[in-house]
Amino acid sequence: MIVNFRGFTLHFACVITVDIKGSRKLKNRAEVQSRVLDLLNSLNIKFRDFLIAEFTMTLGDEFQGVLKTTSVVLDV
């Protein structure tokens, strides 16, 4: 989102970061990670028009994406 404020152009984005708590203790961790990757691919396709940066795995069991607007956050 772009907003003009006192002569300045401000650019806003919405960063979504998700961490799977306790994932190291999961017995089916590899399966969960595979399903998360499938989910990320689906999100990247469905919300491609709203993305600044695609959803990707960032650290082990954490993933992140950047949206141009907050209007679709609850849908994600």
Query: Could you report the per-residue pLDDT of 17-53, keeping only the tens digit for each?
Result: 999 888 888 899 889 889 999 999 999 999 999 999 9
pLDDT for 74 beyond 70: yes
Q: Give pLDDT, residue 48.
A: 97
pLDDT for 3 beyond 90: no
Residue 30 lies in a domain: yes
Q: Look at residue 17 and give its three-state secondary structure.
A: strand
3-state DSSP percent of the chain in helix, strand and coil, to 5: 30, 40, 30
pTM over 0.95: no
Confidence of residue 8 (pLDDT cuts 50, 70, 90): confident
Structural domain containing residue 31 = 2-67
Assess contact for 21 and 27: CB atoms under 8 A. Answer: no
Residue 73 lies in a domain: no
Q: Is 8 exposed, middle or buried (0-12, 13-18, 19+ CB in 10 A)?
A: exposed
Residue 62 lies in a domain: yes
Cα distance between residue 39 and residue 16, in whole Å: 14
The total of structural domains in the chain comes to 1
